[in-house]
Structure 1
Amino acid sequence: MHVIQASGGIGSWATAQRVAAKHGTHDMILLFCDTLIEEDSLYAFLTESAEQLGARLVRVTDGRTPFEVYWHARFLGNARLAPCSKILKQQPARRWLDEHADPDATTLYVGIDAGETRRIPGIRKGWAPWHVEFPLTNEPGLTKAAMLAEARSLGLTPPAAYDEGFAHANCAGCCVRGGQAHWLRLLERHPDRFADYERREDEFRAEFGDVAILKEQRDGVVRPLTLAELRRRNERREPE
């Protein structure tokens, strides 16, 4: 069995294309871990991709959203540590693999590229006993733009996040691993989503104190930077 860790992003899509070209799709699974907050165009891209390949799309979910995980863990996800990734993606995937995928007859595929090879040892260790391969690392010149063009040439529409300038398409842009530039782009492109997370962060802070999704360093000291403060600073910088 060939199991693609299908995030809905262009990297995992391109990975599936290369696995299909080499092994066919009769025993391919596109394993998608749903955070329940993904953008509509990502869900559509996953469905279209599965149909184009003729592969089976399997959706698994913990049943909670990222902020529900933060409340349960009493910890606000941030760029350094994001419990949502482990709880909403890794754990549901492993549960499915434990039930359906014999490690001796299954290969997992992860869509990292040649610039991320430093991550390979950790990924392989984390998914043991399943064997993991990384087809995109064999194409050092492959760019995200080329992968997007490849998808569009097949009549597919990649997630809207890429056209909006985001580096990744996950969590409808509300990824706590993103930095200040990422969140400012979200504020520009989707102020409603930014406002929702600003409100959620404020509610979390009222319960647990001075914590924030973002951080900043001033005079050698790292401090929380709230989304509300980031927005206010941006408003002060904007021309009248």
Structure 2
Amino acid sequence: MEITERIDGRTPEEVFYDYRFLGNSRLAKCSEELKVYQTIIFLEELRDLHNLEPILYFGIGPHEAHRADNLKEFYAHNPIEPIETRFPMIETFKYDRDIKSIIENEWGIKLPRMYHLGFSHANCAGRCVRGGYQHYKQLFQVWPHQYQKQEDMEERFRQHFQKNVSILKKDGRPYTLKEYREQILEKLDEGQMQKEYRELLEKEDSHIPCVCTFA
């Protein structure tokens, strides 16, 4: 089959406005609407229009086996007929570093530049609402204009809906990207700020599964 591209037409920010909800590390409606839902529509078209039975392959390694379990469960029950899922990296015990080497050295495909900039993923040109303190620290340091775009987006949403919400959280309360930049990131060279940054990381929930579901 020809490679198929699907597009919703909205940006993540437009999805946030439509739902009146700012995406964060625990709930990202942008991914649900722009990725997962479009996938489900396409899978149904394969069945109904082309009489094909799809199989979904995911590039998830052994260190993320919990994600595989979530995806198997999702596509086995929600919201359409069960679809087979396969995880070749888990089945062949390939880790990210092995796959990246195969892609670049054997297939001759250059990895997205975000990997070379030190990011663990290449989502949304760095502006991923599921990122935490470490992600946004990296974004601020190597791609400051992208950080500023995300900060501006967050501030626009807060002002438009007059809501005290944010992408990040601190002590269970909203902690804006502006506050994070002014209070921590711009002062990381100072010893006390280094201590505050370490304390933030200790409180951060680093076990949030990067799996978005459609409900």
Superposed CA deviations along residues 10-59 of structure 1, whole A, max 9, x for unmatched, are: xxxxxxxxxxxxxxxxx6xxxxxxxxxxxxxxxxxxxxxxxxxxxx4221
Superposed CA deviations along residues 121-161 of structure 1, whole A, max 9, x for unmatched, are: 33123223211111111133x22222221111132111001
What is the match of residue 236 of structure 1? 187
**Counterpart check, 1:136 vs 2:89:** yes
Over the matched positions of the two proteins, sequence identity in percent amounts to 37
**Counterpart check, 1:215 vs 2:169:** yes
- The equivalent position to 1:148 in structure 2, one of 92, 100, 122, is 100
Further displaced range: 98-107 or 64-73: 98-107
CA distance in 2, matches of 1:100, 1:197: 36
Contact 2:89 2:95 in 1 (8 A): no
What is the match of residue 65 of structure 2? 117
How far residue 104 of structure 1 moved from its aligned partner, in angstroms, is: 7.0
Letter in 1 for 2:40: R
Task: Report SS of the residue matched to 2:5.
Answer: strand
Paired residues for 1:85-234 under 5 Å:
85-101=31-47, 105-128=53-76, 129-140=82-93, 142-153=94-105, 154-206=107-159, 207-217=161-171, 222-232=172-182, 233-234=184-185
Contact 2:61 2:96 in 1 (8 A): no
Size of the aligned set, in residue pairs, is 180
How far residue 175 of structure 1 moved from its aligned partner, in angstroms, is: 0.7
Task: Report SS of the residue matched to 2:166.
Answer: coil
Unmatched 5+ residue regions in structure 2?
77-81, 191-215
Letter in 2 for 1:139: T
CA distance in 1, matches of 2:185, 2:70: 37
User: What is the TM-score with the length of structure 1 in the denominator?
Assistant: 0.70
CA distance in 2, matches of 1:195, 1:118: 33
* Structure 2 CA distance for partners of 1:119 and 1:145, relative to 1, 3 Å: closer
Q: Over the residues paired in the alignment, what is the CA RMSD in angstroms?
A: 1.7
CA distance in 1, matches of 2:86, 2:170: 36
CA distance in 1, matches of 2:22, 2:177: 13
How far residue 202 of structure 1 moved from its aligned partner, in angstroms, is: 0.6
Letter in 2 for 1:202: E
What is the match of residue 79 of structure 2? none
Contact 2:62 2:95 in 1 (8 A): no
Contact 1:114 1:139 in 2 (8 A): no
What is the match of residue 24 of structure 2? 78
Unmatched 5+ residue regions in structure 1?
1-26, 28-55
Letter in 2 for 1:189: V
Give the ranges of 4+ consecutive aligned residues of structure 1 lying more than 6 Å apart after TM superposition.
none
Paired residues for 1:41-56 under 5 Å:
56=2
Task: Report SS of the residue matched to 2:109.
Answer: coil
CA distance in 1, matches of 2:139, 2:9: 25
How far residue 192 of structure 1 moved from its aligned partner, in angstroms, is: 0.9
